[in-house]
Structure 1
Amino acid sequence: MSSFHGEYEATVDAKGRFLLPGGLKKQLPEGETRFILSRGFEKCLTLYPLKSWEQIIAKISQLNDFDPKVRQFRRQFLGGATEVELDSANRLLLPPTLKEFAGLAKDIVLAAAVDRFEIWDAGKYKQLFEDFSPEAFSDLAQQVMAENKI
């Protein structure tokens, strides 16, 4: 499994395309050109390299179909998931419905999230950090890391 890092700025053109930043492209496995783009848990999009997506789908396919929560989760998580591919100019196309969901306009940020990237409106992404104090981050880190025994 790949592990990504960094934050990358990009600009969405009038047709809804953006150039995959070079620093992000360098982190992808050789020849990786296909991705799954889906709604994020927050008002962002999530860009999964195909291999990362396949691992998630393998887990989801093992969930119990008879559990209504599983069915609702699948609808929410898989709804809108779209395969996108780099074009010859290393651009990705944002489907209009997903672009609208995340409120993406011209300036976006692609932020690493372990095995995927989140795509945020640049203003909303900046606001996330302005609204979160260092103390709140420290408290969150303590809670999350203690719960997961890392």
Structure 2
Amino acid sequence: MFLGTHEPKLDEKGRIILPAKFRDELANGLVMTRGQEHCVYVFSAREFETIHDTIRQAPVTSKQARDYMRVFLSGATAETPDKQHRVTIPSSLRQYAGLDRDLAVIGAGSRVEIWDAEAWQTYLAEQEAVFANTAEEVIPGLF
């Protein structure tokens, strides 16, 4: 499970050093793709296989499913961290997420999200008030 917020820097070659707490889960390979809210999603290779199996079950007759599948999978790239625990974020994903030097890498349970640090702070500031004031059940059975 991926938890917490980390603040690595993007190097001149478009690489980041994976946070120490995430390395074991991602050491055998990972998949990066476009995330919602213009971040980069990072899944362990094993988790991405599970997601792909679920996506494959979507009805081909659903335009919304086809559209989602195309955007999600066309941006995906498989990577393996090097010996220094670095991975390269492809330029297309860096551009999509507006990634510059300063990043926020957050644990989101089954995935990691990579955000531009400023974009993350803006998003978090907007969502914290909503989170604090939520008066209805958002996640069934939890809150």
User: TM-score normalised to the size of structure 2?
Assistant: 0.90
Which one of 59, 68, 74 corresponds to residue 64 of structure 1? 59
User: 1:22 Cα deviation (Å)?
Assistant: 1.2
Q: CA RMSD in A?
A: 1.7
The verdict on how the C-alpha distance between 1:95 and 1:141 changes in structure 2, with shifts beyond 3 A counting, is farther
Q: How does 1:81-92 map to 2 (within 5 A)?
A: 81-92=76-87
For residues 29-84 of structure 1, what are the alpha-carbon distances to aligned partners after superposition, in whole Å with 9 as ceiling and x for unaligned?
Answer: 7xx33110000011100000111101101111111112222211111221210001
Contact 1:6–1:112 at 8 Å: present in 2 too?
Answer: yes
Letter paired with 1:108: L
Gaps of at least 5 residues in structure 1 are none
C-alpha distance in 2, partners of 1:20/1:7? 12
User: 1:141 Cα deviation (Å)?
Assistant: 6.9
Which one of 18, 21, 26 corresponds to residue 20 of structure 1? 18
User: 1:133 Cα deviation (Å)?
Assistant: 4.6
Q: Percent identity?
A: 30
Which one of 2, 16, 26 corresponds to residue 4 of structure 1? 2
Aligned position for 2:28: 33
User: 1:16 Cα deviation (Å)?
Assistant: 0.3
Aligned position for 2:141: 149
The size of the alignment, in residue pairs, is 142
User: TM-score normalised to the size of structure 1?
Assistant: 0.86
- Secondary structure of 1:13's partner? coil
For residues 71-126 of structure 1, what are the alpha-carbon distances to aligned partners after superposition, in whole Å with 9 as ceiling and x for unaligned?
Answer: 11111221210001101211000100000000000011110111110000011111
C-alpha distance in 2, partners of 1:54/1:127? 32
Aligned position for 1:125: 120
- Secondary structure of 1:53's partner? helix
4+ long deviations beyond 6 Å: none
User: 1:140 Cα deviation (Å)?
Assistant: 3.7
